[in-house]
Every structure is written in C-alpha cells, then in structure tokens.
C-alpha cells in the first residue's frame, strides 16, 4: 500500500512540473500581450519613418534624430523579451534571413549569400519552377 501511495505522489509531482512548462500562467500571457503591443508600436514608427524617407519629406538630420529616437524605444522591448526567456529558433531564423536576402537580391540584383543548405535546395527548385511559369506566360502573351 505505501508503494502505491508513493508512486501516486511521484506521478502527481511529475504532472505538476510538466504543467508549469506546458500551461501558461496569467502573468506570462499578460507579458506576451504587452510584448506584442510594444513590437507593433515599434514597427509602426519604423514604417512611418520609412514612408517619410521614401516620400522625401525629411532631411538627413531629421532622419537621424527620428531613427535614434525610435531605436531608444527598443530597450524596454528587449528587457521584457528577456524576462520571458523566449528561445531563439534556429531554423525559422535561418529561413527568415534567407527570405530577406532573396528579396534584397531581387531588388538590388546581388547574389544571395546565405549558406543555409535547406533554403538553397528549396530555392533552386522553386526558382526553376518560377522560371518555367514565366516562360509559359511569355509564350502565351507573344
């Protein structure tokens, strides 16, 4: 009988430990919502600065001062993110970096420099398919 009781207690303790890792508490959920709002506000400011630069509404000194004002708002975001212990995920980060490099290479005509083998295999297959579709479209429009 004591063996069953101790076994049951061990199972209950293991479940409670696992629950802390799986189930989010209210404080963490509140901090995640706050982090999302801070990121949205930050990106909104960056986007507004970009649009003003693109429309030639600002001089160089104003651009620099606004950029560094926006940059100073990053510190609370980083502190909140660090307090949540958000792990970096290697594969999504590599995929995001590769997608950014592909877009920049299309815009500026440079070579994609990422050494991510997964993305490079995927991109060559997709690039071949895109070129086939474009050739078909050119033939239809001719």
Please write the tens of the pLDDT for every residue from 79-126: 888 888 777 767 777 777 777 777 777 777 666 665 555 555 555 555
pLDDT the model gives residue 122? 52
CA 7 vs. chain centroid, Å, equals: 43
Q: For residue range 21-55, what is the model confidence (pLDDT) as tens digits?
A: 666 778 888 888 998 999 899 989 988 888 888 88
- Spatial neighbors of 35 by CB under 8 A, at least 6 apart, are 77, 80, 81, 84
- The yes-or-no verdict on residue 58 having pLDDT over 90 is no
């Amino acid at each position: 009988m004591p063996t069953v009781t101790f076994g049951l207690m061990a199972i209950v303790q293991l479940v409670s430990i696992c629950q802390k890792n799986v189930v989010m508490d209210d404080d963490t959920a509140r901090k995640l919502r706050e982090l999302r709002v801070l990121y949205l506000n930050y990106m909104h400011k960056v986007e507004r600065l970009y649009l003003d630069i693109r429309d030639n509404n600002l001089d160089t000194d104003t651009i620099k001062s606004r950029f560094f004002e926006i940059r100073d708002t990053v510190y609370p975001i980083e502190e909140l993110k660090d307090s949540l212990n958000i792990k970096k995920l290697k594969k999504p980060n590599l995929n995001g970096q590769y997608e950014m490099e592909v877009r920049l290479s299309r815009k500026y005509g440079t070579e994609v420099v990422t050494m991510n083998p997964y993305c490079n295999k995927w991109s060559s297959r997709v690039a071949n398919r895109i070129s086939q579709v474009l050739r078909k479209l050119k033939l239809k429009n001719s």
